């Protein structure tokens, strides 16, 4: 898990942690993330995954 968090931070995602029962790791809400460039097949996969229940 720590390796994954480190990779996210290196990719430019500003993370912070909170302690307690509802705690965990979060991305700053004010952060503007870089655009994601999906291929056509990747975009279709995301679309159909969101439609599936």
The 10s digit of each residue's pLDDT in 11-45 is 888 888 889 888 888 888 776 767 788 999 999 99
pLDDT at residue number 10: 86
Q: Which residue has the tokens 């968090």?
A: 5
pLDDT at residue number 41: 94
Token pair of 17 as six digits = 């942690």
pLDDT at residue number 12: 80
Distance between alpha carbon 3 and the CA centroid of its chain, in Å? 15
53 — pLDDT class (breaks 50, 70, 90): low
pLDDT at residue number 33: 66
Its pTM surpasses 0.75: no
């Amino acid at each position: 898990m720590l390796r994954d968090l480190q990779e996210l931070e290196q990719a430019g995602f500003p993370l912070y942690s909170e302690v307690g029962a509802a705690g965990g790791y979060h991305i700053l809400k004010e952060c503007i993330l870089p655009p994601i460039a999906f291929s056509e097949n990747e975009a279709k996969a995301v679309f159909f995954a969101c439609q599936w229940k």
